[in-house]
Amino acid sequence: MLQLVRIDYIILRYSVTSSYSACFFAVYLDILGSICDTIGMESSLQHPTSRGAAGKIRRRVNRCGERLWRFEDFSDLPHQAVAQSLSRMSRAGELKRLSKGVYYRSRKTVFGESKPNPSSLHQLLTKDHTVFPAGITAANLLGFTSQNPARRELATTAQSLPRKLLGEDAVLHTRRPEAWKSLNDECAALLDFLRNRGAFTELSPNETVERLLMLIGESNRCGQLMRVANTEPPRVRAMLGAIGEQLDCDPSVLMRLRQSLSPVSTFDFGILSALPNAHAWQAKPKVSA
């Protein structure tokens, strides 16, 4: 059994052995003080900083009203404290979690809680993910149709995207080739237009082909598309070959495209079968009305 007895500036440690003999050991108080200081330091490091950061985060969020919040908006504060505080505010209903690291503070309106601005969500989406126009959205961008889609249609190289950032009604095409990351929106939209066989055009077949050749012939788009052609389905490679031949592309590039196609296959070019050399690139014969 051990007992500590304080006598002025020292502590006498009293020890009783099993044989009932006793002895005293002097322990100076500066040792005990260092132990107390260490314990106090450990406890002070655990909470005050995070509590102070949480208060700053809450005040900043409340002061700014309705808006989107990301971890990057609190770069002056510890990352862990920011993540914990925003998560806590979300559980309390003060914020809405839209995706990992993205939160929204709403405001009350006569129609209920406000919703995030779609354009702001799209900016966040495109900042962290590779996203391209697709379908009618792509055709509209390229000038093949004046129709604005009721539902946004997008393509991405990713397997999925945060639905709350994307929008509940958006149509998403996933797992586009990684090579698409080297393309701008116009080039990706052109590939998507070819994948859809020009289905969303409002122009006549000949007008569609004329505009398509004009768009691909501009700004070295033909070269950019040819560099990623080998990642596309055979049908698209055949279309690119027919288009490249019309635009006098490098013969060696066209030869590689032709060699990548099975000589016994034919492909549905859709409205793009109006290309003058479509048959030479294994397009299926036009079906008479």
Supply the pLDDT for residue 50. 56
The residues, ordered by sequence, that sit 6+ positions from 244 with a Cβ below 8 Å of its Cβ are 222, 226, 253, 254, 257
Secondary structure of the chain: what % helix, strand, coil (to 5)?
Answer: 50, 15, 35
Read off the tokens for 275.
């290309």
The residues, ordered by sequence, that sit 6+ positions from 199 with a Cβ below 8 Å of its Cβ are 270, 271
Sequential pLDDT tens for the chain (289 residues): 445 444 444 444 444 444 444 454 444 444 444 444 444 443 333 444 556 888 898 999 889 888 888 888 898 999 898 989 999 998 998 888 887 888 888 888 878 888 877 777 767 777 777 899 999 999 999 999 999 888 889 999 998 888 777 777 788 999 999 999 999 999 999 999 999 999 999 999 999 999 999 999 998 899 999 999 999 999 999 999 999 999 999 999 999 999 999 999 999 999 999 999 999 999 998 755 4
Q: What are phi and psi of 141, to 5 degrees?
A: -60, -35
**Structure-token match 């002070």, residue found:** 44
How far the first Cα of the chain sits from its last, in Å, is 105
Supply the pLDDT for residue 250. 94
- Report the C-alpha dihedral over residues 48, 51, 52, 57, rounded to 10 degrees: 160
Q: CB–CB of 95/89 below 8 Å?
A: yes
- Report the alpha-carbon distance of residue 276 to residue 265 in Å, rounded: 19
- Report the alpha-carbon distance of residue 17 to residue 24 in Å, rounded: 12
Q: What's the full length of the chain, in residues?
A: 289
Supply the pLDDT for residue 154. 92
Supply the pLDDT for residue 120. 74
Please, which residues bridge with residue 22 across strands?
Answer: 16
Q: Which domains does the chain have, with CATH numbers?
A: 2-46 (no CATH), 52-113 (1.10.10), 118-281 (no CATH)
pTM here? 0.66
Supply the pLDDT for residue 207. 97
- 35: helix, strand or coil: helix
Going through the chain in order, the beta strands assigned E by DSSP cover: 2-7, 10-16, 22-28, 67-70, 96-99, 102-105, 108-109, 112-113, 131-133, 153-156, 171-173
Backbone torsion region of residue 38, taken as left when φ is above 0, otherwise alpha when ψ lies between -120 and 50, otherwise beta: alpha
